[in-house]
Chains A and B, each alone.
Chain A
Amino acid sequence: MFLSRIVLRDLDSIDSPASMASSKKLVTRDEWERKLRDVKIRKEDMNRLVMNFLVTEGFVDAADKFRIESGTQPDIDLATITDRMEVKRAVQSGNVQEAIEKINDLNPTILDTNPQLYFHLQQQKLIELIRAGKINEALEFAQEELAPRGEENQAFLEEIEKTVALLVFEDIKNCPYGELLDVSQRLKTASEVNAAILTSQSHEKDPKLPSLLKMLIWTQNQLDEKAAYPRINNFSTAALEDPAI
């Protein structure tokens, strides 16, 4: 260390950076379309994307028709889609026990290795009992089947408490957890089931098309900062719209 009064300091003035000129590149529609035409996308790849969507979402008839028309082979046996859709339908229509048995017949390891899914199915079963007004049965089921799951897992316990709260309210619509009775809850459980079955069949649980669409949106947003170009604003028509200048 040393006395600073002896230190000679010459402070350099700090140059302010030159202001950046905002000049976005303009791409005309002709130019854009010409460039798009230069990108070669194989028809087979497009077809496989469509097939992947139909299979994952479980549109078995459409998938079969598409197979015949386009000659695209699905990456999974179409018969398995039928099984999967039956399970999904069972959940959506509130037949949870039927769904559980069908899953176990499809592959008995799914629910054993996926405690969360098993719990959600049991929870859905309780919800259905409450919806049907079978209060005694519901209480018994909650006590005997769900309570032990809550002991195993703190998060499950909280879910159980919310569900059982439905029993306390006379006017279920006003219960803070009333949304559990919504159709959306069934759909949520059904899609969880759908994903688990797909995973057990070595199939990706999400179709590829939506993620491509997300990527398109992201890319356009990135590009917006640098260029003005014909944008796709309406994704159902995918029409190019002239750049606003």
Chain B
Amino acid sequence: MPVRVVDTATPSSQPSTGQDANAGHPSPPSCSLLSAGRCFAGTQNVSNVQNNEAWKVNVRIHGCDLEQGYLCGTMEALNVPLADTPVVTFWEGEIVDAKNYTFFTGKWEASPEDDIRHWSKFPSFTPLLSQIETDGGKSVDLSNYAHIFMRWKEQYFVNVGVDCGLTIAGFYYVCFSCSDGSISGFYYDPNSSPFQKLELKCTNEKDSGFTFSSYELQ
């Protein structure tokens, strides 16, 4: 479940858990599979013309604030060449909700053309394309859409120094499926090989069911 941040000066002011916080305006759906504590595992394909290479990747969500269109977490790359240990980075994400963020990045060296080119790689984006092209996506209602589009930008290395032989100059275009919690993404960095694909599956699905953990900030 999503992290709630509530002001609780006195017990009597406890808000009920079930308040639909964004009832009034369109924002992406809250999804119980995209919440703090949830883990995802899969690969990042770093292949280029010469070799076919993929890293094992684990992602963990640390926090998620749909109201602000914000989420953050860590990404762990396991079999990185030349690295002795898995490399962990901390990233922050922007959720495309037409309120806080649109499909257009407007920074990180990504032009609108780059944006469209990357988003279009997700099949679930295709139905939205024409509307994005007409009005830039201002009128898109994503509140009932079964996919959540995000940008993840790595901010710093958690367990290694900056001289670890890796760069975090780029960012990820990410598409999350609300129905099964799978994630696909593309790493974009004008100085790196294009369209490196990230594919992750929700790992909380144990043999016999889904489990949940949650925290709540005051």
Contact = CB atoms under 8 A, between A and B. Distances in A.
A1 B193 contact: no
Interface in A1-46: 1-9
A4 B166 CA distance: 5
A4 B165 contact: yes
Given A1-B77, A1-B89, A6 B192 contact: yes
A9 B168 CA distance: 14
Interface in B141-199: 154, 165-170, 187, 189, 191-193, 196
B196 A2 contact: yes
Interface residues of B, number: 21
B77 A3 contact: no
B75 interface: yes
Contacts of A2: 46, 166-170, 187, 189, 192-193, 196
B15 interface: no
Please indicate which of the listed interface residues A1, A5, A6, A8 has the most CB atoms of chain B within 10 Å of its own CB: A1
A8 B170 CA distance: 13
A30 to B, nearest CB: 56
Nearest to B192: A2
B81 A7 contact: no
Nearest to B81: A3
A37 B189 CA distance: 65
B87 interface: yes
A7 B192 CA distance: 6
Nearest to B196: A2
Contact of A3 (B89, B154, B165): B165
A129 to B, nearest CB: 51
Interface in A193-217: none
A9 B166 contact: no
B183 to A, nearest CB: 16
6 contacts: A1-B75, A1-B167, A2-B168, A3-B166, A7-B191, A8-B191
CB-based closest 9 A-B pairs: A4-B167, A7-B191, A2-B192, A1-B168, A1-B166, A8-B191, A7-B167, A1-B89, A2-B167
Given A2-B196, A3-B166, A7-B189, 9 more contacts: A1-B77, A3-B46, A3-B80, A3-B81, A3-B165, A3-B167, A4-B166, A5-B165, A7-B191
